[in-house]
A and B are shown apart, each in its own frame.
Chain A
């Protein structure tokens, strides 16, 4: 028994060691990806509180880059399109930031009635960041009558790259097994099309709107780590905010984000 315990401990140490060495050299998943609890149990929450706030951008706001439309002009080029990597609105409001609870292990269930869709109208994904619960199907919409290929760069779940021809207006995608992400979503036929999907194990995830606002509702009272992820600004995985939710109460937590150091050279996707 003793030797067994010792073995377990050493395995643990060894893992830390290997993990530590790894972190020295690479930007690891722990730094760039969402953090998920070991397990999550859905239950009814009656006295939950609310976490809300505003995410703002700090730094010189770069001019929105117009996307170069290289084909299917009649459909894709009908309106001007902009790169949505960094969308900063009035008062430096930062759109498309995921704000979420990192360490919640039980709470409300997903809204089963919610329709999960991602549109490709005018050859641009909408929304740019989509939250998809594990096991739930997301439907790709294509009402423009052009060919798309839906390419999702999963590495934990099965990779997806599937043709959605011009005749296929709604193409549901299989639900995934594991929490992952956010993973990049592309259409290779229209190389400028880019979006993100986060496969999540619990419903306490929000994406900021044009005003940079987010709200997480019906959170069971307790203290949690509040994390964020933004495509161009990165995560706060190394120092998440601590928030304490009281029954029926509302806590405010704002964030101010800056560009990741390597964002300028980020043509590649990991």
Chain B
């Protein structure tokens, strides 16, 4: 039997006994101010949340080590996804919603099916006990008003676009929102961990949803604990003035000299602005407003809210309504036949094609692994003619890294992409394919591209992820790569047939397995540390006169199966 003295220093034992003796008293006292944290909430938390968020809510559970973003430390009371104003705590409904839905783009799962509605409510009450602020709240948190929403329109988006620059979203999110702003590489959260700005073109990864209302609440309230600031009243130009007054003031300020009357006029505007700011500060400090102040404030905020809806509409316009379907089934990549020469990289002909979407997942199977991927997917288009095939690959990467030395490891890191095919196309959908991680017993044929040599693709043959070699004989492959506004574009052209037995040979109407690997140098990706896809398929779409094929539906089914299998595997690995 373990005696209590063995675990605890002697002096503290008396304290402990006394402590145990008064537990009922303490509990009684607690019931008065702790927001009804029940045993049930604790049980749910310890079973489902503690291995990530830590028993004491510090975000230091056993699974936390490899995760980025880190599981939240609840003791600071910093919550990203709130319906409340900057500086305020979330509402219970906010917490319930995020626990129910989870946080896309992070390891925070949704608990809609795993926990009952009641269990979720209980766990909300429980996590609130980790931060004293919830107990000390004197009044309910101020919520962001969603009244007066401005409908989506071209004009609204255009106004929003101007505000995106004026307010400085661009600093972190980049010119057109791909998360490639000049401040992006140096951002850290309040716990000191590296953080990337959201890619606004991939709104399916937003933690708090991609509805216009969600976006609106995010930049008004900010994402507490992250570098993403709140854009409150006086973050906006000339807060407190009507649009007409604001325009007039800007005009006056731009004059070289003002007349006495104009001086006075602008002086009045400044006073009006100071008054509005003062009221906003009074509200933040919890001071009661007079009816007149309330009125002034409402008017000032009307302008801000209007601008905010335009901005939200603009941000909304940057991403498709939802994540594109992956390139399987009806969306399989079909290279389109042209009789003439294949279009060059910047040819407008590419715009006539829909791209096929290949989601990428972190490689967590083989060491070194990547648990925190930054590249989401690759989009692909393709044309072919009687002799050649051309592909256009695009993928978003927040940083343009061409051979930089990693300070910690001395490794040379750079952005790269590899496109993988089997050497021999499996005869029929049930024939075995090479192992999707760069082959094994069955070899794979690869096109390797690196950001430091953007106009070059190297052919590799691989029999395993750590067993790849550049081919001794390189076929004539033309390539052109470029990086703009957080996105790579790579154009590749090769003959349908080559003389090399180690190369893939292409023929219209035959479904060819294809898979991808991508590296983000700035994220420490190197060798096996990368993002990957499982096998997908593509086909040189036969010219209409050709005979019909029986494979497509089967191949499609098989790809779905594989994809789901890989996802499941990766998720199991992750958790």
A residues at B contact (CB < 8 Å): 7, 9-11, 13-14, 16-18, 20-21, 70-71, 135, 137, 147, 149-151, 153, 155, 158-168, 171-175, 177, 188-192, 267-269
Q: Which of B22, B25, B77, B86 contacts A162 (CB 8 A)?
A: B86
Closest to B225 in A: A159
Q: Are A268 and B191 in contact (CB under 8 A)?
A: yes
Knowing A161-B230, A191-B183, the reply to whether A17 touches B16 (Cβ < 8 A) is: yes
A270 nearest CB across to chain B (Å): 8
B89 nearest CB across to chain A (Å): 9
On chain B, the residues within 8 Å of A174 by CB distance are: 281, 284-285
On chain B, the residues within 8 Å of A18 by CB distance are: 19
Q: Are A10 and B186 in contact (CB under 8 A)?
A: no
Q: Which of A21, A177, A191 contacts B12 (CB 8 A)?
A: A21
A134 nearest CB across to chain B (Å): 11
On chain A, the residues within 8 Å of B18 by CB distance are: 9-10, 13-14
Q: Are B22 and A14 in contact (CB under 8 A)?
A: yes
Nearest 8 A-B pairs (CB), nearest first?
Answer: A268-B192, A191-B186, A147-B168, A188-B227, A158-B87, A174-B284, A17-B15, A149-B229
Q: Are B229 and A13 in contact (CB under 8 A)?
A: no
A167 to B166, CA, bound (A): 9
A41 to B235, CA, bound (A): 36
Q: Does B182 contact A (CB under 8 A)?
A: yes
Q: Which of A20, A71, A159, A177 contacts B183 (CB 8 A)?
A: A71
A190 to B227, CA, bound (A): 11
Knowing A158-B88, A175-B285, A191-B186, the reply to whether A163 touches B12 (Cβ < 8 A) is: no
On chain A, the residues within 8 Å of B183 by CB distance are: 71, 188-191
A172 to B224, CA, bound (A): 20
Knowing A17-B16, A147-B168, A191-B183, the reply to whether A162 touches B285 (Cβ < 8 A) is: no
On chain A, the residues within 8 Å of B230 by CB distance are: 161-163
Q: Are A14 and B192 in contact (CB under 8 A)?
A: no
A197 nearest CB across to chain B (Å): 15
Knowing A155-B76, A268-B191, the reply to whether A149 touches B182 (Cβ < 8 A) is: no
A171 to B22, CA, bound (A): 50
Number of chain B interface residues as a range: 35 or more
On chain A, the residues within 8 Å of B12 by CB distance are: 17, 20-21
Q: Are A13 and B15 in contact (CB under 8 A)?
A: yes
Closest to B283 in A: A174
Q: Are B172 and A189 in contact (CB under 8 A)?
A: yes
On chain B, the residues within 8 Å of A189 by CB distance are: 168, 171-172, 183
On chain B, the residues within 8 Å of A269 by CB distance are: 190-192
Knowing A161-B229, A189-B172, the reply to whether A10 touches B187 (Cβ < 8 A) is: no
Q: Which of B19, B22, B78, B281 contacts A159 (CB 8 A)?
A: B78
Knowing A13-B18, A167-B237, the reply to whether A188 touches B229 (Cβ < 8 A) is: yes
A155 to B76, CA, bound (A): 6
Q: Are A137 and B281 in contact (CB under 8 A)?
A: yes
Q: Which residues in window 254-288 of B have CB below 8 A to A?
A: 277, 281, 284-286
On chain B, the residues within 8 Å of A267 by CB distance are: 192
Closest to A270 in B: B191
B553 nearest CB across to chain A (Å): 50
On chain A, the residues within 8 Å of B76 by CB distance are: 155, 159
Closest to A149 in B: B229
Q: Are B187 and A188 in contact (CB under 8 A)?
A: yes
B70 nearest CB across to chain A (Å): 11
Q: Does B509 contact A (CB under 8 A)?
A: no
On chain A, the residues within 8 Å of B15 by CB distance are: 13-14, 16-17
On chain A, the residues within 8 Å of B365 by CB distance are: none
Q: Does B439 contact A (CB under 8 A)?
A: no
30 contacting pairs across A/B (C-beta < 8 A): A7-B22, A9-B18, A10-B19, A10-B21, A13-B14, A13-B19, A17-B16, A70-B186, A135-B285, A151-B227, A159-B225, A160-B86, A160-B87, A161-B228, A162-B229, A162-B231, A163-B167, A163-B229, A163-B231, A165-B236, A175-B285, A188-B183, A188-B187, A188-B227, A188-B229, A191-B183, A191-B186, A192-B186, A269-B191, A269-B192
Q: Does B188 contact A (CB under 8 A)?
A: yes
On chain A, the residues within 8 Å of B87 by CB distance are: 158-160
Closest to B197 in A: A188
